[in-house]
Amino acid sequence: MSLSAPTQLRNSRSLRVLIVRTGAMGDVLHAMPAVAAMRLRHPDWQIGWAIEPRWRPLLEARSTYGEAMPLVNRIHEVPTRAWNQRPFSLTTLREILALRRELRAEQYDICVDMQGLLRSAVVGWLAGAELFVGSASPRERPAKWLYRRSIRTQAAHVIDRGCELLGGAIDEPLVAATVPLPVDNSAERWCDELLAKLLPDGAGGRFAMLAPTAGWGAKRWPAQCYGSVAAALAEAGYTTLINAAVENDPFAAATAEASGGRAVPVWCDLAQLTALLRRTSVMIAGDTGPLHLAAALGRPVVALFGPTDPGRTGPYGTRSEVIRHASSREDHRRHPEPEEGLARITVEEVTAAALRVLRVKSEMQGDA
């Protein structure tokens, strides 16, 4: 197929495009600005997304989108985590075959693997699109064997790389666009009720949020340090909430204990976390999904980086303070303990950064 294939496929009609990016949260969020840019340029195109069920709320609200056009028209659930737990079961085989039928029924013209793993390439291949596109340098080399066209990307940040990849797939330049994250009315009501109970000024009060968890231990700043930051913010008059990744999250509990009870753990689902982050005055976290969700919502963030490069996955398009110790080096091996440079970031540095962000926000509100 020639390089002008997407143009030939159009043939005066709207295209059907499938995005494959099953997870994790931060990775899905990093793919969304490119898709939002494509949606703005082509509101009539039919866009599907293959995604893990637990990340579906990033694309679709349980209640309503309101007046906003949805980012995608069709969502295909791909329960790869469940398949990994039972790879040889008949249930897994039936689900894979059902997914294949579902994807092929949509008759996608173009499929773009924005994940670059062998499993995501297999999902894309199952769709049977006329053109299957992926990165020339996928995260797992065998993925490239299934692509019909490979795109070279050169940008530093993964969001810009996503624009290069998707833009190359449709033969149009794309610039990252604002992501229209869904508004879930039931989650918004839950959030208002929660904040009315927890904040001194009620639901309209200002608060900071902490996310002490991370995908692996090397990216996790110590819970005791997060707790000390919460205590310092309390001294400055700010309430702090802790995002608990799971119910009875030990890291959230340790953070609350280290704060002397001045920070409150909140366990919630993804739609509720989104509602909370829409209202937070600052999010303090490492290179993890809740940090990227806050950034996607345009909220101020203080980002703590260690073994990952903030130039590649750092906050994008929002007011931010990024802290990374000079001794940190990029290392994606999943070590259980905090990376040495990350551990050297001090409570004082993080508190000062958070207060700068909070004061700037206060001044901006005062000028309004």
DSSP assignment string, 220-251 = ---HHHHHHHHHHHHHTT-EEEEEESSTT-HH
Instruction: Please answer whether residues 230 and 263 qualify as being in contact, where contact means their C-beta atoms are separated by less than 8 angstroms.
Output: yes
315 and 222, same domain (yes or no) = yes
Instruction: Please answer whether residues 221 and 325 qualify as being in contact, where contact means their C-beta atoms are separated by less than 8 angstroms.
Output: no
Q: Cβ of 366: how many Cβ atoms within 10 Å?
A: 7
| Strand order across the beta sheet in which 131-135 lies | 74-77, 46-51, 16-20, 110-113, 131-135, 149-151
At 350, which helix (H) or strand (E)? Answer: helix 347-367
Of 136, 170, 204, which closes a domain? 170
User: Against a cut of 0.85, is the pTM above it?
Assistant: yes
Low-confidence ranges of the chain (pLDDT < 70): 1-12, 61-69, 203, 361-368
362 and 276, same domain (yes or no) = yes
- Domain holding 319, by residue range, is 186-367
Q: Which two tokens stand for residue 191?
A: 């959030």
CA separation for the pair 283, 302 (Å, rounded): 6
Q: Which two tokens stand for residue 46?
A: 């039919």
84 and 143, same domain (yes or no) = yes
Q: Write the CATH number for 355.
A: 3.40.50.2000
- pLDDT for position 66: 44
| Residue 40 resides in a domain | yes
In DSSP notation, 58-104 reads GT--SS--TTSPPS-SEEEE--HHHHHHSTTSHHHHHHHHHHHHHHH
162 and 201, same domain (yes or no) = no
Of 122, 139, 170, which closes a domain? 170
Bridge partners of 150?
Answer: 134
Instruction: Please answer whether residues 288 and 209 qualify as being in contact, where contact means their C-beta atoms are separated by less than 8 angstroms.
Output: no
| Residue 178 resides in a domain | no
- pLDDT for position 60: 86
305 and 349, same domain (yes or no) = yes
Q: Which two tokens stand for residue 168?
A: 């190359």
Q: Rounded to 5 degrees, what angle do the CA atoms 321, 209, 309 make?
A: 40
141 and 218, same domain (yes or no) = no
Q: Cβ of 205: how many Cβ atoms within 10 Å?
A: 15
| Residue 71 resides in a domain | yes
CA 248, 251, 257, 259 torsion-angle sign: negative
236 and 273, same domain (yes or no) = yes
- pLDDT for position 328: 96
Contacts 24+ apart (CB under 8 A), 79-86: 79/52, 79/53, 80/22, 80/23, 80/52, 80/119, 81/52
191 and 261, same domain (yes or no) = yes
CA separation for the pair 344, 180 (Å, rounded): 37
In DSSP notation, 126-171 reads HHT-SEEEEESS-SSGGGGGG-SEEE----SSHHHHHHHHHHHHHT
224 and 333, same domain (yes or no) = yes
131 and 267, same domain (yes or no) = no
For the chain, the domain total comes to 2
Radius of gyration of the CA atoms of the chain, in A: 21
| Residue 175 resides in a domain | no
Bridge partners of 75?
Answer: 49
CA separation for the pair 47, 15 (Å, rounded): 8
Could you tell me which residues come within 8 angstroms of residue 111 by beta carbon, excluding any fewer than 6 positions away? 17, 18, 20, 124, 127, 129, 131, 132, 133
Q: Which two tokens stand for residue 281?
A: 């005055």
| Residue 150 resides in a domain | yes
83 and 55, same domain (yes or no) = yes
Of 170, 202, 236, which closes a domain? 170
Calculate the CA 313 to chain-centre distance.
Answer: 10
252 and 291, same domain (yes or no) = yes
| Residue 149 resides in a domain | yes
CA separation for the pair 271, 286 (Å, rounded): 21
Instruction: Convert the pLDDT of each residue in 285-328 to its tens digit.
Output: 999 999 999 999 999 999 999 999 999 999 999 999 999 999 99
Instruction: Please answer whether residues 218 and 337 qualify as being in contact, where contact means their C-beta atoms are separated by less than 8 angstroms.
Output: yes
- pLDDT for position 309: 97
64-95 core/surface letters (b: 16 or more CB in 10 A; e: else): eeeeeeebbebbbbbbbeebeeeeeeeebeeb
Q: Which two tokens stand for residue 109?
A: 């013209």
| Residue 103 resides in a domain | yes
| Residue 177 resides in a domain | no
